[in-house]
Amino acid sequence: MSIGTSGSPPATELNPEGIADRTTVGVFFGQAARYGERPLVHHLVGEQWKTETWADMKRYVLAVASALVDAGLKQG
What average pLDDT score do residues 46-67 get?
A: 96
pTM of the model: 0.72
Confirm whether 76 is domain-assigned: yes
Confirm whether 5 is domain-assigned: no
**Domain coverage including residue 73:** 39-76
Strongest mean pLDDT among 7-11, 15-19, 20-24, 51-55: 51-55
Separation CA 23–CA 6 (nearest Å): 29
Domains in the chain: how many in total?
Answer: 1
Confirm whether 46 is domain-assigned: yes
Coil, helix or strand at residue 64: helix
pLDDT over 50 (residue 1): no
Distances (CA, A) of 58 to 46, 52, 54, 61, 76: 24, 10, 6, 5, 22
